[in-house]
Amino acid sequence: MNEKEAARLIDISAVQAYNNKQDIDELIACAKEYHFYSVHTLPSWTSYLSEQLKDYPDIYVGAPVGFPSGGAQTLIKMQEAKQLITDGARELDMVINIGKLKSGEVRYVEDEIKQVRQLCADLPLKIILETSYLTHDEIKVGCELSINAQADYIKTGTGWTQKGTTIEIIKLIKDFVGSSIKLKASGGIRDYETFKKCMALGVDRFGINTKSAIEIVKKFQ
């Protein structure tokens, strides 16, 4: 694998509350230089991001839905998803309703994913489980609901929690889902060694901060 191929496995982002226009512009410049697969910002920057990347069709504009808590009502998530698509998003990463999942309200969670899935039928949909808040059994339920609702990816986290993605959680998810749904590891993937271990376990995509992403891809020659 070379640098360019490694970059095509990575989504870079500036999705912290404090990220300003300078951060967004630096993110865009890095995406253009390295051709990372996808670029994510908070929703208020999506239309700007789309405009800046309009001449780079191989770089996808990604956007978060219900981010970062997942606690918005389903209707609000659907309205947000619809607006993000209008603003140029070509991939959506939706935070699962964590509280509902932990309360055992699986029908609510599955129906919500299905409704957003129907709304963005032509776009990749990733479901963020925020695994650091869930038990192993809850992670498995979240995976099963996402598969049932025909999401494209399970995503491990938002990057907003203190505890990032672990190799243990990657193994747990891959052992449970096999090849039935793709897996995006996000949060805590900051070095080449961890990246390689996750690749070996079958991770399909990575969400990595820009600085770490550049350092990782430069290891591939």
From the centroid of its chain, how far is CA 41? 11
Between CA 21 and CA 23 the distance in angstroms is: 5
Q: Which of 155, 163, 196, 211 is catalytic?
A: 155
Distances (CA, A) of 25 to 19, 55, 145, 206, 216: 10, 15, 37, 21, 21
Q: What would the two tokens of residue 16 be?
A: 């912290």
Q: Is 184 a catalytic residue?
A: yes
3-state secondary structure 131-194: HHHCCHHHHHHHHHHHHHCCCCEEECCCCCCCCCCCHHHHHHHHHHHCCCCEEEEECCCCCHHH
Q: Is 155 a catalytic residue?
A: yes
Q: Which of 184, 191, 197, 204 is catalytic?
A: 184
Q: Is 114 a catalytic residue?
A: no
Q: What would the two tokens of residue 106 be?
A: 């699986």
Between CA 50 and CA 186 the distance in angstroms is: 22
Helices 74-86, 106-119: inter-axial angle, 10-degree rounding: 20
Q: Which of 93, 122, 137, 191 is catalytic?
A: 93
- For the chain, the C-alpha Rg in angstroms (whole number) is 16
Q: Which residues carry out catalysis?
A: 93, 155, 184
